Amino acid sequence: MGRVLGFAIWLITLGSVGMFVSKHWWFPQSISEHGGLVDRQFGITIIVVGISFTAAQVGLGWVVWKYRDTSAATRATYSHGNNRLEVLWTVVTAVIFISLAVMGQRVWASLHLHAAPAGSYTVRVVAQQFSWNFHYHGKDNVFGRTDPTLIDDSALNYVGLDPADPNAKDDSVVSTLVIPVNRPVELILTSKDVTHSFFVPQLRFKQDLVPGMAIPVHFTVNTTGKFELACAELCGMNHYKMKSYMLVLPENEFNELVNLPQDKFQARKDELLNKYQLPQY
Amino acid sequence: MATVTSTETAAKPGIGPGWPKPPGKNGSNGNGHRRFGGDKKFPKDSYRITVWILMASIVMMFVALASSYIILSGDEKWQPVRMPRAFLVSTALILVSSVTMTMARRQLSLGQSGKYKAWLSLTLLLGIGFLASQFKGWQQLFAAGAFLAGNPHSSFYYLFTGAHGIHLLGGLSAVTYLAVRSGQVLTGLAREKRFAAIEAIALYWHFMDGLWVGLFLLLWLWK
Amino acid sequence: MAEAIHEVHRHPAPTGFIRKYIFSIDHKVIGIQYILLALTAVIVGLVMSVLMRMNLSWPGTNWPILGTLFPTGAPGGIMTPEFYLSLVTMHGTIMVFFVLTTAPQGGFGNYFLPIQIGADDMAFPYLNMMSFWVTFVGFIVLLTAILAEGNLTVGAWFSKLGESFAAGSGTVGPIGGWTGYAPLSALGKIAGPGQGAGVNLWIISIAIFCVGSLLGALNFITTLLNMRTRGMTLMRMPLTCWAWFTTAILALLSFPVLLGGGILLLLDRVAGTSFFIPGGLYVSGALVPQHTGGSPLLWQHLFWFFGHPEVYIAILPGMGATSHILSTFARKPVFGYRAMVFAIFAIGMLGFFVWGHHMFISGMSPYSAIAFSVLTLSIGVPSAIKTFNWLGTLWGARIRFTTPMLFAIGFVSLFVAGGITGLVLGQTSLDFFFHDTYFVTAHFHLVMGVASIFGMFAATYFWFPKMFGRMMNENLGKFHFWITFLGVYAIFVPFHAMGMVGMPRRYAQFGEYEFLKNTHGLVLFVTVAAIITAAVQLVFYFNFFWSMFKGKKAGDNPWEATTLEWGIPSPPPHDNFAGIIPEVHHGPYEFSVPGAAKDYIMQTDPEAAT
């Protein structure tokens, strides 16, 4: 039984490690400036994880194989442990784990501990049960005033924009996130009803949208194209299809688009949405 | 070894492999107390230990609620509510009740069972008075237009007083039990147990006192 | 009178059926009651997980039986997304609370902690009985949540209780996940189906459960501190006792916080307070004017302050049992007993300071996220110490491959497999991608779900002879082990792959997204593995109940183990030691002592035996 069990543990280890090494199921392509760093940090981490996992499982398989009870004649080694070994492996694991922990903060700190760089393009994101609204400030670079009491889904005022406010005249609200390539983007995330989460796998970015909070986040995308945007926080019955797209446009195409008035913005955006294709998976 | 019933084995020297002979004397040589077999000695620490553990868990709950209070007080929509006067009265009542509880314990240790009973009854009355005064406080809140539903500060008034009141009711029923039984003359183990119980109940009572004072100060000063 | 009071504490053996088996104050009966409760709850949870897998692999398929049972939740036998989500919620709640918290602690802890420390019962037997029955009521209330939402007749009764008890939405319970994030869980029926009476009952059930667990924890701690027998010093306690003790402390300090949070959530729902609901919400086409000033993040803080220690509540008893069983069948003392004790404590205590790692992307301060992240990875250190010491225990051993030993070895393997991905998930930068993907689901299912369950399987096969006086069938047990061991790996390793492509948790279907289209094969593979593994558990149930009556008779000490429970008859007499005071002379794991007559020395053996 010992040999079979040891062998089974090794096989499981081989299979699990093989699944990662084959990279058959892996991250989708990275499209953001920080994405490469996230992938690299994951690469380092998964190597540490893989080595520790393999060492522990192979070790377990080996002791199970080697020390199976073969005869009643001999007894097991009588030992209560070894303090030096104990200290050694405590220190080694502590050093490795804490180093990983410290390294693992770098990308996080670069995105979250700094305000959005100057020249960022700002978009307000207002999530609601099972759909996304993206609020653009238009030519004037100022968002029109919004007020929750003005929200009226049936009148298509999804974010509660105040029509009396002159700043609101050139604002657009659309259901697709359109952003420029190679320019920092700042999103101000909020929700009308329950907690949602903004997730674009290619972006290597995720952030909850919490009602009652406006959470500013920023990142820079370096690849044009069309990408799926998913909700990653349980928000109710249709959570699984709270889907939208993130459209990353070249600077000129983007500038042309966002300076259009609402109705033309909408139409042009739909054109562009058809023009770009989703990545091949 | 045949399976044996409990009464039979008491007389047998051992059960199972390597079982030692029953030790002859009472008390414990190890870390723990024991309380069975021929040893009827009551482990008097258990009530006190339990009350301490119980207090730890109650503290955790109120710390959670108080943290919620402090977090929500930072919200821009937070509207402070004036402290109703009745809560000042309740605070005085419960502070005095701690003193009377201490007096009751002292009289008991002096063997003055009549005075013990009197002080205990006074504590009980003060406890009931405290709850009545808390209820009066609710009425004053109502009159001021502060209800359970509404802005968190007014909700917290009801929440803190309510949660504290329920815990105090537990203490109150324990004190009632002591007061009802205060006429009994006890000896030996029963006496020892009663003393342990009084000690534990008094501890809980003081804790309820301190807890209320803490909540009161939080509601009053942090708004 | 005085004589009557004398007898209050030392309860005589009960005679009537009800006092003996139903409202018993005997810790052994209560322990078995807890185990039976967990065995019942786990079937419900397991069936739910199979239904979930079926929905994910074959969406839109007609399952006539579901159409009959839940005409609105599965119209025409086709599961609706809300039906799926309520399965997610109930599966999680039932498994975490009524299986992983009841069986290891309430079940085996109740039965064996007093015996292993040489006490005749818990410190407060009546409190112990209360704690089980309170927990039981909690379970019944949770099942009622299924009926309230899923059955129109029962739903109509609850709807009469008022606005917030609107029911009969046709799901099989509330929708919100076992974490019940506010404001989804706080808004009531306007937030969609499965947000009515079901959620109220869900909260009430958990609140009741908290009370039951607190009563249990009080009892465990007092018993362990105050009732150890002569010679049973703290450092002579079996590691199981240390695990139960630490677990009780965790429960004592974390359940009150959940209870507090639950009360606030319930008040938000039924009394119109705004603890978790901010002002200015617009839900389902209408403003929500009556709420203002609450914070959704507050609920997450309260929940996870409890939720993280809860993970350790589930697994620490499994660690204790594993150490104990590994040592017994390796015929070797536990390697580094003191380090094991400190590691258990370190894991437990650190567990209180890492709750924020569930909330990196929640909108919490990014600075505190960094602190939580570093603390989280430092939990890996005591966890690694435990793993090393388990391997050290097996090193140079003479392993006897009994069924409990197989499950204990399986525990070590699964604990490593599940725990080590914590290094990935604990890093803030990697959480950008992995938060709420199947990578997380893989991690916690392996480490807190399956590893804990393996600990409990090991404990069941190990202590069954003591509890019922009969052995469980070894061949069936080994069959059960092999399929389950390979099965759980087949289920949960592919979850990591799904996480790698970014598959989000709690999706009723994956067909909406192009980036998930390459996962069909994986999803199907997992479903098949899950159905096989679930089916094999029937073998365990059969073995359990059949062996209770027909199993081979077990002696007092069939495993040649050393701790106190193996020195008394199987099953133990009413007061455990039949009136004889055990006296402890040895540490708990004296196996293969050189020069001793046998290869094990019981804790009660006289000093001379060395």
3-state secondary structure labels for all residues of C538-578: HHHHHHHHHHHHHCCECCCCCCCCCCHHHHCCCCCCCCCCC
ipTM of the complex: 0.96
Cβ distance of B148 and C272 shorter than 8 Å: yes
Tens digit of pLDDT for each residue in C330-363? 999 999 999 999 999 999 999 999 999 999 999 9
Say which DSSP state C185 is in. T
For tokens 């388990």, name the residue. Answer: C390
Annotate B119-154 with DSSP letters as a single string.
Answer: HHHHHHHHHHHHHHHHHHHHHHHHHTT--SSSSHHH
Q: Does C509 touch chain A (CB under 8 A)?
A: yes
Q: Does B196 touch chain C (CB under 8 A)?
A: no
Reported as type and span, the H/E element at residue A103 is helix A83-103
Cβ distance of A56 and C387 shorter than 8 Å: yes
A75 CB-contact burial (10 Å; exposed 0-12 / middle 13-18 / buried 19+): middle
Nearest-CA distance from C158 to chain B in Å? 22
Q: Does C292 touch chain A (CB under 8 A)?
A: no
B157, B81 in Cβ contact below 8 A? yes
Per-residue confidence (pLDDT) for residue C461, from 0 to 100: 97
B153, B218 in Cβ contact below 8 A? no
When pLDDT is cut at 50, 70 and 90, the band that residue B11 belongs to is very low
C-alpha span between B69 and B66 (Å, rounded): 5
Mutation to test the B interface, candidates C220, C249, C258, C273, most B Cβ within 10 Å: C273
CB-closest option in A102, A192, A235 to C281: A192
Least confident of B20-34, B150-164, C114-128: B20-34
A33 CB-contact burial (10 Å; exposed 0-12 / middle 13-18 / buried 19+): middle
CB-closest option in B28, B54, B68 to C298: B68
Q: What CA–CA distances, in Å, run from B211 to A112, A257, B59, B82, B163? A: 40, 62, 8, 20, 11
- Cβ contacts of C5 on chain B, cutoff 8 Å: 186, 189-190, 193
Mutation to test the C interface, candidates A25, A102, A106, most C Cβ within 10 Å: A25
Name the region of C580 (left: φ>0; alpha: ψ -120 to 50; beta: rest): beta
C-alpha span between B156 and B138 (Å, rounded): 12
Q: What CA–CA distances, in Å, run from A115 to A4, A111, A190? A: 57, 8, 17
C291, C278 in Cβ contact below 8 A? yes
Cis peptide, bond prior to residue C573, ω within 30 of zero:
no
Phi, psi torsion values for B133, nearest 5 degrees: -65, -35
C-alpha span between B179 and B201 (Å, rounded): 12
Three-state DSSP class for A217?
strand
C-alpha span between A49 and C6 (Å, rounded): 60
Nearest-CA distance from C294 to chain A in Å? 8
Which two three-digit tokens encode residue B71? 């977090």
Reported as type and span, the H/E element at residue C601 is strand C600-601
A143, A137 in Cβ contact below 8 A? yes
Say which DSSP state B32 is in. S
How big is chain C by its Cα radius of gyration, in Å?
24
Q: Does C559 touch chain B (CB under 8 A)?
A: no
Beta strands A177-180; A205-209: pairing state: unpaired
Number of H helices, E strands in chain B: 6, 0
C197, C167 in Cβ contact below 8 A? yes
C123, C171 in Cβ contact below 8 A? no
Per-residue confidence (pLDDT) for residue A212, from 0 to 100: 93
Partner C, chain A 193-222, Cβ-Cβ below 8 Å: 193-195, 197, 199, 201, 204-208, 210-213, 215
C-alpha span between C39 and A7 (Å, rounded): 32
Phi, psi torsion values for C17, nearest 5 degrees: -60, -45
Which two three-digit tokens encode residue C372? 């939580």
For tokens 């808390």, name the residue. Answer: B134
Cβ distance of C580 and B37 shorter than 8 Å: yes
Q: Does C235 touch chain A (CB under 8 A)?
A: no
Nearest-CA distance from A108 to chain C in Å? 5
Instruction: Examine the pLDDT at B6 and tell me if it is beyond 60.
Output: no
Per-residue confidence (pLDDT) for residue C608, from 0 to 100: 66
Instruction: Examine the pLDDT at B32 and tell me if it is beyond 60.
Output: no
Mutation to test the C interface, candidates B5, B7, B31, most C Cβ within 10 Å: B31
- Cβ contacts of A25 on chain C, cutoff 8 Å: 497-498, 500-501, 518-519, 522
B122, B98 in Cβ contact below 8 A? no
Mutation to test the A interface, candidates C268, C301, C433, C559, most A Cβ within 10 Å: C433
Which regions of chain A are under pLDDT 50? none
Q: What CA–CA distances, in Å, run from A27 to A40, A273, C496? A: 12, 24, 11
CB-closest option in B18, B31, B42 to C602: B18
- Expressed in angstroms, the distance from the first to the final Cα of chain C is 49
Three-state DSSP class for B110?
coil
Three-state DSSP class for C594?
coil
Three-state DSSP class for A132?
strand
Tens digit of pLDDT for each residue in C262-286? 999 999 999 999 999 999 999 999 9
Three-state DSSP class for C280?
coil
Nearest-CA distance from A174 to chain C in Å? 18
C526, C565 in Cβ contact below 8 A? no
C-alpha span between C340 and B138 (Å, rounded): 52
Tens digit of pLDDT for each residue in A7-48? 999 999 999 999 999 999 999 999 999 999 999 999 999 999
**Chain centre distance of CA C588:** 26
Measured between CA atoms, the residue of chain A closest to residue C508 is: A240
Per-residue confidence (pLDDT) for residue C534, from 0 to 100: 97
Cβ distance of C580 and B60 shorter than 8 Å: no
Measured between CA atoms, the residue of chain A closest to residue C498 is: A25
A 10 A CB-CB count for A156 gives 7
Cβ distance of B78 and C578 shorter than 8 Å: no
pTM: 0.93
Return mean pLDDT, chain B.
82
C-alpha span between C440 and C432 (Å, rounded): 12
When pLDDT is cut at 50, 70 and 90, the band that residue B41 belongs to is low
Q: Does A84 touch chain C (CB under 8 A)?
A: no
C406, C381 in Cβ contact below 8 A? no
Closest to C315 measured CA to CA, from C353, C351, C365: C351
C-alpha span between B144 and B159 (Å, rounded): 17
Closest to B92 measured CA to CA, from B218, B204, B179, B212: B212
C-alpha span between C218 and B51 (Å, rounded): 9
Q: Which amino acid is at C273?
A: T
A 10 A CB-CB count for C539 gives 16
A 10 A CB-CB count for C556 gives 20
Please report the sign of the dihedral spanned by the C-alpha atoms of residue A223, residue A227, residue A232, residue A235: positive
Measured between CA atoms, the residue of chain C closest to residue B146 is: C273
Mean pLDDT split into 10-residue runs, chain C, 610 residues: 36 80 93 97 96 94 90 89 94 97 96 95 93 97 91 88 84 91 93 91 97 96 92 95 97 97 96 93 92 94 96 96 97 95 95 96 95 95 95 94 97 97 96 96 96 97 96 97 97 96 95 92 96 97 96 95 95 89 93 90 80
Tens digit of pLDDT for each residue in B186-220? 777 888 888 889 999 999 999 999 999 999 999 99
Per-residue confidence (pLDDT) for residue B100, from 0 to 100: 96
Q: Does C175 touch chain A (CB under 8 A)?
A: yes
Per-residue confidence (pLDDT) for residue C153, from 0 to 100: 86
Q: Does C264 touch chain B (CB under 8 A)?
A: yes
Higher per-residue confidence, B21 vs C307: C307
Per-residue confidence (pLDDT) for residue B113, from 0 to 100: 84
Cβ distance of C436 and A206 shorter than 8 Å: yes
Higher per-residue confidence, B111 vs B27: B111
Paired with A244 in beta bridges are A229
C-alpha span between C413 and B39 (Å, rounded): 46
Least confident of A56-60, B4-8, B112-116, C547-551: B4-8
C-alpha span between B168 and B97 (Å, rounded): 12
Which two three-digit tokens encode residue B51? 């009350």
Per-residue confidence (pLDDT) for residue B2, from 0 to 100: 38
CB-closest option in C6, C259, C583 to B40: C6
Cβ distance of C581 and B3 shorter than 8 Å: no
B81, B217 in Cβ contact below 8 A? no
Q: What CA–CA distances, in Å, run from B47 to A31, B60, C241, C440? A: 64, 20, 21, 43
